[in-house]
Amino acid sequence: MTSTERYLARGPRVGIRPFTAADRQEFTTFARQSVDLHRPWLFPPDTDDTFDGYLARLQEPLREGYLICELDSGRIAGYLTINNIVHGGFQSGAIGYGVFAHAAGCGLMSEGLRLVLRHAFGPLGLHRLEANIQPANKHSISLVERAGFRLEGFSPDFLFVDGAWRDHERWALTSEMLQEDAEDQVG
């Protein structure tokens, strides 16, 4: 990414870029404004300290983090992380994501997810991405279905979320399954 191009990839309405410390105030403000949308599924950082800890974890070698930003304003619409990246014969990672309330229902997350998928299966060299979603989180399931993920299974008591072990559906996508969209540009 050159200094003149802030995005790793661009679509018609959004671009993806790495998190930076300069994003702290905007991100945490939008996280606080989106609590009603996110709960009980998601708890993004909403204070300076939690954001700084989150940003530090995203610097670890087996994680990648992307902000999904509106091209016309530069405003953060949502975010997506790839965690537990395994290289070698596996070439896989697990995604987590969230949209902020002001951008919910506008299709910006779908566009941003497609960009991250192309980046993950292209420059990052991954072959498979998984999304683990609580069965009642219909909006999140719809997002991955639109992107072409397939349901692969059900895991009882899979992740500790909001004070309890929660069941999750396991959704996955491989590079061969990726749906092409000529409007999106990587690079």
pLDDT of residue 4: 44
pLDDT of residue 128: 98
pLDDT of residue 91: 96
pLDDT of residue 181: 59
Kindly list the averaged pLDDT for each block of 10 residues, start to end, along the chain of length 187: 70 97 97 93 95 96 97 97 95 97 95 97 96 96 96 95 94 90 48
pLDDT of residue 53: 97
pLDDT of residue 184: 47
pTM of the model: 0.91
Q: 3-state SS of the chain?
A: CCCCCCCCEECCCEEEEECCHHHHHHHHHHHHHCHHHHCCCCCCCCCHHHHHHHHHHCCCCCCEEEEEEECCCCCEEEEEEEEEEECCCCCEEEEEEEECHHHCCCCHHHHHHHHHHHHHHCCCCCCEEEEEECCCCHHHHHHHHHCCCEEEEEEEEEEEECCEEEEEEEEEEEHHHCCCCCCCEEC
